[in-house]
């Protein structure tokens, strides 16, 4: 099924499949291709409207009877780390990070496989091979970087890499596309540390936001995102500050979901004719 605006791009909807966050639910995504000379302009515009990038596709959850997934971002100017987050920063102070071009390596893939096997052995990426991993990293038509976190004190050079994040550079922030880390370093809270490092990087670059992807109320997999203050969520077509995560409930009433055609019609698309 396809829906389109008078001007490009074209929008499509995926077939329903099992939801990775809620039991006995089906997920569906609204998506469009990200390509050509206007790819960066389109990515900037749709990211501000709750879309995420996966390789050369932009997508947003568009389930037929559920509005649980909320895009989340941190407002850098108002963020202050909590006591526990300060401890995470101190615990990982020995790690060094560097930004590289989006080019996959065997070392990254080895860490990626260990992470998946430990944390997401039954997830949608569980069977990814090195070629699919390379495609995930390298197929990007926009400004993308790999942020690598390494331990210079590691006994072996092959054990230095501890975490990696594939990050898009938007005109108003950093979008964390996908991150993975050493599953044996549980006490270091590397997932939280990667976000804190991106907040510091955004501050250095003068960017106002760090985009975290989707947050689902009451989902254990997503709970860590709501622990960051100055968090905003995209609700009913606008960003709003999250005051209390408990105030958000999972909405599964089909009457609250806009028809696909109406969702597409309400999107603000940049005029690529200029």
Kindly give the confidence (pLDDT) of every residue in the chain, 274 residues in length, as a single tens digit, with 9 standing for 90 and above. 555 444 578 999 999 888 888 888 888 999 999 988 899 999 999 999 999 999 999 999 988 878 888 999 999 999 999 999 999 999 999 999 999 999 999 999 999 999 998 876 566 677 889 999 999 999 999 999 999 999 998 877 768 999 999 999 999 999 999 999 999 999 999 999 999 999 999 999 999 999 999 998 877 778 889 999 999 999 988 999 998 888 887 666 666 677 888 888 889 888 765 5
Domain boundaries, the chain: 2-68+250-265, 72-247
pLDDT value of position 121: 56
E strands along the chain, which residues? Answer: 2-4, 10-13, 17-18, 26-27, 29-33, 52-54, 57-61, 70-75, 96-100, 144-150, 161-169, 173-181, 209-215, 231-235, 238-241
The strand pairing partners of 166, in sequence order, are: 146, 178
DSSP SS3 for 258? coil
Q: What are 147's strand-pairing partners?
A: 99, 165
Query: Between 3.40.50.2300, 3.40.640.10, 3.40.630.30, 3.30.70.2740, what CATH number should domain 72-247 receive?
Result: 3.40.630.30
Asked if 32 and 12 touch (Cβ cutoff 8 Å), the reply is: yes
| Confidence at residue 57, expressed as pLDDT on a 0 to 100 scale | 95
Q: How far is CA 77 from the centre of its chain?
A: 20
Instruction: Identify the CA nearest to 132 among candidates 88, 93, 178.
Output: 178
pLDDT score recorded for residue 124 = 67
Q: Which pLDDT belongs to residue 108?
A: 96
How confident is the model at residue 251, as a pLDDT?
65
Task: Tell me the three state secondary structure of residue 67.
Answer: coil
| Residues 156 and 167 sit within 8 Å (Cβ to Cβ) | no
Tally of CB atoms within 10 A around 82: 12
Q: In the prediction, which pLDDT does 5 show?
A: 44
Q: Please list the residues that pair with 39 across neighbouring strands.
A: none
SS3 call for 6: coil
Checking phi first, is residue 19 left (phi over 0); if not, alpha (psi -120 to 50) or beta? beta
- DSSP label of 15: P
User: What's the confidence (pLDDT) of residue 218?
Assistant: 78
Give the Cα separation of 235 and 210 in Å (integer): 17
pLDDT at 253: 63
């Amino acid at each position: 099924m396809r829906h389109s605006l008078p001007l490009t791009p074209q929008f499509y909807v995926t077939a329903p499949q099992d939801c990775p966050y809620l039991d006995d639910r089906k997920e569906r995504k609204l998506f469009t291709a990200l390509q050509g000379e206007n790819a960066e302009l389109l990515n900037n515009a749709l990211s501000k409207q709750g879309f995420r990038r996966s390789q050369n596709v932009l997508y947003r959850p568009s389930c037929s009877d559920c509005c649980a997934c909320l895009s989340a971002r941190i407002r850098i100017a108002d963020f202050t780390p909590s006591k526990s987050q300060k401890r995470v920063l101190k615990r990982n102070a020995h790690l060094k990070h560097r930004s590289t071009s989006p080019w996959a390596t065997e070392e990254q893939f080895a860490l990626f496989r260990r992470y998946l096997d430990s944390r997401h052995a039954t997830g949608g990426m569980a069977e990814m091979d090195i070629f699919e991993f390379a495609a995930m990293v390298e197929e990007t038509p926009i400004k993308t970087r790999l942020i690598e976190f390494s331990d210079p004190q590691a006994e072996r050079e092959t054990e230095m890499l501890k975490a990696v994040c594939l990050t898009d550079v938007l005109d108003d922030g950093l979008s964390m596309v996908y991150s993975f880390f050493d599953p044996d370093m549980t006490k270091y809270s590397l997932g939280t540390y990667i976000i804190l490092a991106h907040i510091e990087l955004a501050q250095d670059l003068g960017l106002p936001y760090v985009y975290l992807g989707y947050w689902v109320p009451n989902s254990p997999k997503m709970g860590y995102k709501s622990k960051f203050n100055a968090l905003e969520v995209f609700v009913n077509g606008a960003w709003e500050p999250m005051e209390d995560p408990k105030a958000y409930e999972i909405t599964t009433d089909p009457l609250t979901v806009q028809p696909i055609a109406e969702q597409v019609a309400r999107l603000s698309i940049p005029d690529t004719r200029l």
